[in-house]
C-alpha cells in the first residue's frame, strides 16, 4: 500500500516532466520524481515496530536480525540525496544560464537544435 504512494509520487513527477513547458518546472518535477524513488528506497528498510539497529549483547544475532530495522537503506538514501543535490545544482545553473542566453524559461522557445 505504502509503496503505491511512492509510485504515485514518481508518476506525478514523470507527468510534470512530460507536460511542463518551463525549465524550472521540469527541474521541480524531476525533484519530485527523485524523492519518490528515495522514499521507496527508504521504506524498503522499514519494519513495523522494529528495534533500532544497534547490537545489544543480551540478544543473539539471529534474534537481532529478525527484530531490528534495516540500517542500510538510510545510508543509501543519504548518498542518493547528495547525488541528487549535485544534479539539482547543475540543472538550476543550466536554467539560469539558459535564461541569460535566450531570455526565457519556456522550452518551446529554446529551440535552436533541430533534426
Binding site for other proteins (CB under 8 A): 10, 13-14, 17, 23, 26, 30, 33-34, 37-38, 40-41, 44, 72-73, 76, 78-80, 82-83, 86-87, 89-102, 110-113, 115
Q: Which is nearer to other proteins, 59 or 101 (CB)?
A: 101
Shortest CB 54 distance to other proteins, Å? 11
Q: Which is nearer to other proteins, 59 or 93 (CB)?
A: 93
Shortest CB 101 distance to other proteins, Å? 5
CA distances from 6 to 3, 27, 53, 106 (A): 5, 19, 24, 29
Residues 6+ apart with CB under 8 A from 113: none
Shortest CB 51 distance to other proteins, Å? 16
Angle among Cα 46, 50, 65 to the nearest 5 degrees reads 90
Shortest CB 4 distance to other proteins, Å? 13
The alpha carbons of the chain give a radius of gyration, in whole angstroms, of 20
Calpha distance 73→71 (Å, rounded): 6
Amino acid at each position: 500500500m505504502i509503496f503505491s504512494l511512492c509510485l504515485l509520487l514518481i508518476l506525478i513527477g514523470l507527468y510534470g516532466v512530460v507536460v511542463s513547458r518551463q525549465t524550472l518546472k521540469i527541474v521541480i518535477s524531476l525533484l519530485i520524481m527523485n524523492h519518490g524513488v528515495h522514499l521507496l528506497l527508504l521504506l524498503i528498510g522499514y519494519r513495523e515496530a522494529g528495534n533500532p539497529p544497534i547490537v545489544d549483547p543480551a540478544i543473539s544475532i539471529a534474534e537481532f536480525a529478525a527484530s531490528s530495522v534495516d540500517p542500510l537503506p538510510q545510508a543509501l538514501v543519504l548518498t542518493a540525496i547528495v547525488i541528487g543535490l549535485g544534479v539539482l545544482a547543475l540543472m538550476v545553473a543550466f536554467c539560469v544560464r539558459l535564461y541569460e542566453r535566450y531570455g526565457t524559461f519556456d522550452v518551446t522557445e529554446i529551440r535552436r537544435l533541430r533534426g
